[in-house]
Amino acid sequence: MDQIYSLHTDRNIEPWEFGQLAALNLWGDAGDFTGERLAGHFAAVDFAAHVRTSQHLLVGYASAISNGLGTVFIDSLICHPEYDREAIGGLLLRAVLTHFSGQPVYAMPFVDEQQVFRANGFRVYRREMVALAHRNDEPSGLGGIAAPEAVIHS
């Protein structure tokens, strides 16, 4: 594609357009990404960047979290599938690396998405790390664990 892209490091993304991008990447249904959820995400991350076409179509997004001690974790990297080979992922990764210059940056991409990370200098750390996950699908409460205010002392 002969396209001109622009990189933005603001958070001017509408929930519906993020939802469309996420749905195209099988992150969930477009409607799952409400304004409230996107605002919560933006409040939780330390850096966000996105890429748009000259027609203002959102085609890529990345976010990163810093622990404040010099370690950065790439929270999200997502690209529009139709623009997959347009170097958008690399552009977003370089934006993260530039923003957190001099700090170690970690990522845990899916196996089939490692190529863009490796092409941008990411390598297996001294010891290979394993991503462990726990889907927290409990809608509310602590899943049978008593909340501190509910504990009765006798």
What's the sign of the alpha-carbon dihedral 27, 30, 31, 37?
Answer: positive
Tell me the CA distances in angstroms from 51 to 59, 120, 136, one per residue in order.
Answer: 6, 17, 30
In terms of Cβ atoms closer than 10 Å to its own Cβ (0-12, 13-18, 19+), residue 27 is middle
pLDDT per residue over 47-95, tens digit each? 999 999 999 999 999 999 998 888 899 999 999 999 877 789 999 999 9
SS3 for 95? helix
pTM: 0.80
Q: Using only C-alpha atoms, what is the Rg of the chain?
A: 18
pLDDT in tens, 111-148: 878 888 888 888 887 777 777 777 666 655 555 544 44
